[in-house]
Chain A
C-alpha cells in the first residue's frame, strides 16, 4: 500500500496570486476509508484556500475527536493546527481567536463531536459569533466506533445492520439559524462546485460561519435505506442557489437572467453572487431561510447551498470591543498603563 503521495504534480498547474501551487495547501495522505466523504471536503478546503490565495501560515485548523477531526492532518500541511479534546474545539478556538485575531480559524468537527458531546460548546460559540469557519462533516453515524446512529441520523433511516432509527434527528442547520448564526449553509461532499465557493464565502464572512456538509460514510452508512448515502443525498438534494464568490479586485462577469440573481457584499470587499433556484428565498432574511428549510423538509428534500447570511455581522471582538491588535502581542506597558491612566479612568467616574 502506498502511504506516500508522490511529490510529482502536473507540470502546467498554475500558481495563485501569491505564488503558491495547490500542492502547497495539501496535507499528508489520508488514512480514512477509501471513498470517505471527508476526503472530498478536505479537497474542497485545499481548493478554496488555494483560490483565495491565503498564505498557509495565516490559517489555524482546529478540531476535536472523530473521523472528521482527523482530517486536518490531510489538508493545509503548512498551517497551524490543534487537535483538541472531544467536543471542545469551540473553546480552544475561542481562546486562540482571543489571543490572535489575525488568523483565519478553520474548525472541523463531526456530527458526534458537535451534536452529541460538543453540543454545549457548539451553541455558545454560535451565540458569541466567534469569527471562525465551523465545518461539520456530517455522516449520521459514529464511523470510528463501527457506525452506530448519531444524533443527526434521520428518523427512519436504516443502518447497515438493518435497524431503523427510532429517534428524531438534530438539525444542525435549523438549530444554528435559531441561535442567530450569521452565516448558515449546507452542502454535500460529492458536490465540489457548490462546496468550494461556500467554503470561500464562509472564510470571507466576518463572524461565525456554519457549514453543515453531508459526507457519506462509505463503510458504515452508505447502504440502501440510509438517508446519508451518496445515492440518497444526490436524489434528494435541492439548492437555494448556485453560488460564486467574487473577490474585491475582480469584476463580476457572469451574466444571469435578470431577476434571478442576488448579491451580498462582504466586509472585506468581496461579493457573494447567487443565482437563485428557490424564487421566494432571500439570503439575508432569516425567516425566508426557515420557511424554505421547513418546506424542503416537508417534501423530503435536503435543502443545500447558502441558507442565510447577515451582512451586518459583528464578530465577538467587535461585540466585546477588544483592541485591534492581537492580545498575544500586547506588552506589559499596554496592559498596565500605570497610575496616570488609572487616575484618568477613576476621574471619569467622578
Chain B
C-alpha cells in the first residue's frame, strides 16, 4: 500500500468515529474532555458551534455517533455521548456573551427563512452575525418547528427549547410567527436576495383501510396528534388506545397517550420487533411505562358500531427475506385478531409536502414530489432558493437538519456575494502534541473499565400524571465525570514518524489490542490477512508507514486502537507521538468570501 497521507484532514477525521458519524461533525471527544474537567460552559460552546442545540440534542438526538463509538467495538456499550451533551447543557454558566452578535451595520442582504425549525434556525445562526437581514416565517406562535410540535415535553421541557431557540431569535431575527406561507410566489415577490425552505416533513401518512372514514373522530395522525397536545388543543384520550407504527413518533404517541388518560395503551406493528425503526432507547422507555408491543400484525379494518369506533382487526404475518435482503410479510394463516380501542393513532411515517410552492417558478420537483437539489450546496433549480432539513431529502433528524443548515448558509453566503457556491471553505484542522514530560500526557490516557452508566428516571407516579414532567433526569456531575472518563479520546491520534523508528518492536509488544504490525508491504487485502490481529472491518483504515530500513513497513489497524498512548510511552525514539487532532467544519463567513 502507499504510505498513508496524514496531511489529508479526512484521514484522522475518520479515526474519530463519533465525530465522523455526526452529520454536523461535532468534535465529541473534545467536549467530553471539557466535561471531565468540569468546564461545562466551554463544553456547551464547542457543541453550540457545531450543532446549535446542545440542550435539545442532549435529550432528543438520534445519536448516530453512539453506534459508531469505538468503545462499542471493544466492549458491550458505547460512551453515552448524547447524555454527556446534556450534562454540559445542564451545568453550563452564562453563555450568551460568548455567542456572536448581529452587527449593527447590516450587509444589505435580505434572506427569508420559511419554517422555524432546526434547519432554518441554523441558517439564521450562521448568517445573522454576518450582517444579513433575516426574516423567519412560521405558522405557529413560537419558533422551534418539529422540536416543539413533535417532541413531547416529557422528553424535552419547553424551557430548554425556548432558551436555545431564543439565543438565535435574539440575534435580531425578524420573526413572522402565526404566518402560514401559502405561496412561494408571494415570498419571491418580496425581493429577498435568497430564500431558504426549512419546512420539514409536515404531512403524516394516513392508513386507508375499511372503516377509516366512519371512525374518523377517533382516529388521529401521529404528528398532528402530538402538535395538538403540544399546543394544548387536546388534553385527553380514551382509556384504550392503539398506536399503529413502530417508529419514534409511535413511541412519543403511546407515551403521550399514557399521560392523557390512556390505561390500556398498546403499540401494534406490522413488522418484527427487531426491525422496528424506533431508537432502542425510546422503545425501552415506552416499555418501562407498561406499554406492550404486538409485532407482525398488520391492521386490516377499523371496526365501527353505531358510528363509534370499537377496535381494530389485525392479521398475522411473518417476515421473509429474499436473497437480496428484500423483505416481504407473508400471512401465517392464523385467525385474525380483534383488539378493542377507544382511539387509534396512526404513526406510520411522514412526508414532505410542498403544495404552497407554485410549479411555474422554476423550482423543479422530482420523484416523490421532492425538490431537485444539489447534494452539496442545497441549491434548487431556482438559484436563489435553497432547501434544508427534512424538506430537502425527506425525514431525517434534528442533527441532520443542523448540518444542512450550516452547509446551506455557506451556499447562501457565497451566492449573495456573487461567488461560486461550490467554492467551499476547507475544514479547520489542528494537530497538537500531547506530551507534557517523559511519559506524561496532557490528556487522561489510562483506559477505565467502567461499563456504561444508566441515566436515572423520574418516578412513574409523577411522570404519568403530568405530561410536562421530564422523564430522564440526566447524569449528575459525578456520574457525568465517570461516564466522560469512558471516552477513549480517539481524537488524540497516534502519529508515526518513519525516520525515527529503530524497529525495536516495543510498540508491538505493549499494544493491548494488537493494532500494530511490522511486516513487508503488500496490497490491502494481502496486508489485512497477515496482521497481528484480524483486520476484517474495511471501513476502518490501515495506517501504513514509509519503507523502514529493514524493508518492512509499520501497519496499524485503526479499528480497535484504545488511544491509550502506550505505544508512544514505550517508544524509545518518540517515533510514535500522541497528537490531538481538532477538526471543525468551517461555517459561513470564516474564509469563504473573496
- A-to-B contact residues, CB < 8 Å: 1-2, 4-13, 29-30, 33-37, 39-40, 42-43, 189-190, 192, 216, 218, 222, 230-231, 234
Q: Which residues of A contact B533 (CB under 8 A)?
A: 10, 12-13
Question: Is chain B's interface secondary structure helix, strand, loop, or mixed overall?
Answer: loop
Q: Which residues of B contact A12 (CB under 8 A)?
A: 533-534, 536
Q: Report yes or no: A234 in contact with B550, Cβ–Cβ below 8 A.
A: yes
- Within the complex, what minimum Cβ distance (angstroms) separates A108 from chain B? 16
Give Cα A6–Cα B450 distance, bound, in whole angstroms: 12
B503-519 to A contact mask, C-beta < 8 Å, 1/0: 11110111011110000
Stretch at the interface among B124-132, B334-342, B453-461, B569-577: B569-577
Question: Is chain A's interface secondary structure helix, strand, loop, or mixed overall?
Answer: loop
Q: List 30 A-B contacts (CB under 8 A).
A: A1-B569, A2-B439, A2-B566, A5-B512, A5-B566, A6-B446, A6-B447, A6-B562, A6-B564, A8-B512, A8-B513, A8-B562, A9-B512, A10-B515, A11-B560, A12-B533, A12-B536, A35-B573, A36-B506, A39-B505, A39-B506, A40-B506, A43-B505, A189-B504, A192-B505, A218-B504, A222-B502, A230-B502, A231-B502, A234-B549
Q: Which residues of A contact B174 (CB under 8 A)?
A: none
Q: Which residues of A contact B74 (CB under 8 A)?
A: 8, 11
Q: Does B440 contact A (CB under 8 A)?
A: yes
Closest residue on chain A to residue B572 by CB atoms: A35
- Within the complex, what minimum Cβ distance (angstroms) separates B496 from chain A? 15
Given A1-B569, A6-B446, A231-B502: 9 more A-B contacts, CB < 8 Å: A1-B439, A2-B565, A8-B74, A13-B533, A29-B510, A35-B570, A40-B509, A190-B504, A218-B504
Within 8 A of A (CB), among B198-215: none
Q: Which residues of A contact B447 (CB under 8 A)?
A: 6, 8
Q: Which residues of B contact A189 (CB under 8 A)?
A: 504-505
B40-56 to A contact mask, C-beta < 8 Å, 1/0: 00000000000000000
- A43 contacts which of B439, B509, B565, B572 (Cβ < 8 Å)? B509
- Which of A34, A35, A43 has the largest number of chain B CB atoms within 10 A? A34
Q: Report yes or no: B570 in contact with A7, Cβ–Cβ below 8 A.
A: no
Closest residue on chain A to residue B514 by CB atoms: A10
Q: Does B73 contact A (CB under 8 A)?
A: yes
Give Cα A214–Cα B531 distance, bound, in whole angstroms: 25
Q: A34-B506, A35-B504, A40-B504 are in contact. Are A11 and B73 (CB under 8 A)?
A: yes
- Which of A2, A12, A37, A43 has the largest number of chain B CB atoms within 10 A? A2
Give Cα A276–Cα B502 distance, bound, in whole angstroms: 28
Q: A8-B74, A8-B75, A35-B502 are in contact. Are A43 and B508 (CB under 8 A)?
A: yes
Q: A35-B504, A190-B503 are in contact. Are A2 and B560 (CB under 8 A)?
A: no
- Within the complex, what minimum Cβ distance (angstroms) separates B437 from chain A? 9
Closest residue on chain A to residue B574 by CB atoms: A34
Give Cα A1–Cα B435 distance, bound, in whole angstroms: 11
Within 8 A of A (CB), among B20-65: none
- Which of A1, A40, A216 has the largest number of chain B CB atoms within 10 A? A1
Give Cα A11–Cα B570 distance, bound, in whole angstroms: 23
- Within the complex, what minimum Cβ distance (angstroms) separates B472 from chain A? 29
Q: Report yes or no: B513 in contact with A2, Cβ–Cβ below 8 A.
A: no
Q: Report yes or no: A39 in contact with B513, Cβ–Cβ below 8 A.
A: no
- B572 contacts which of A11, A33, A231 (Cβ < 8 Å)? A33
- Which of B509, B510, B566, B572 has the largest number of chain A CB atoms within 10 A? B509
Q: Report yes or no: A39 in contact with B514, Cβ–Cβ below 8 A.
A: no
